[in-house]
Amino acid sequence: DSGVTQTPKHLITATGQRVTLRCSPRSGDLSVYWYQQSLDQGLQFLIQYYNGEERAKGNILERFSAQQFPDLHSELNLSSLELGDSALYFCASSVGARGSGNTIYFGEGSWLTVV
């Protein structure tokens, strides 16, 4: 158990809908990262927040948004869902802003299916 908690574990929704994925980082970690894993694209970095502020952005679609709250939990909002958004969404956390790899811990993921 990495200590990173994600909910829900599984989610099935229809095209055009909006969903929110939630992440609680490990105790003491200030950075939260969101990654998307699909069969064709592999594991892709979406966005990073550090202590409530956006720190780095990857190939995140405009239909997607995220935020980190004062209690450090984070939410990833996915709207106007398309079939291609079906994927496993991972949250990860680290103590510092830079991560440097050795301190980035992943949650178990939220499996999103868009039908």
Partner 1 sequence: QKEVEQDPGPLSVPEGAIVSLNCTYSNSAFQYFMWYRQYSRKGPELLMYTYSSGNKEDGRFTAQVDKSSKYISLFIRDSQPSDSATYLCAMSNQGGKLIFGQGTELSVKP
The footprint of partner 1 (CB under 8 A) covers 2, 4, 31, 33, 35, 42-45, 48, 55-56, 58, 88, 90, 94, 96-102, 104-109, 111
Angle among Cα 57, 59, 61 to the nearest 5 degrees reads 100
C-beta closer to partner 1: residue 9 or 18: 9
The distance of closest approach from Cβ of residue 31 to partner 1 in the complex, given in angstroms and rounded to an integer, is 6
Dist. CA 5–CA 91, nearest whole Å: 8
The distance of closest approach from Cβ of residue 56 to partner 1 in the complex, given in angstroms and rounded to an integer, is 5
Dist. CA 46–CA 76, nearest whole Å: 10
Secondary structure of residue 91 in the 3-state scheme: strand
The distance of closest approach from Cβ of residue 8 to partner 1 in the complex, given in angstroms and rounded to an integer, is 14
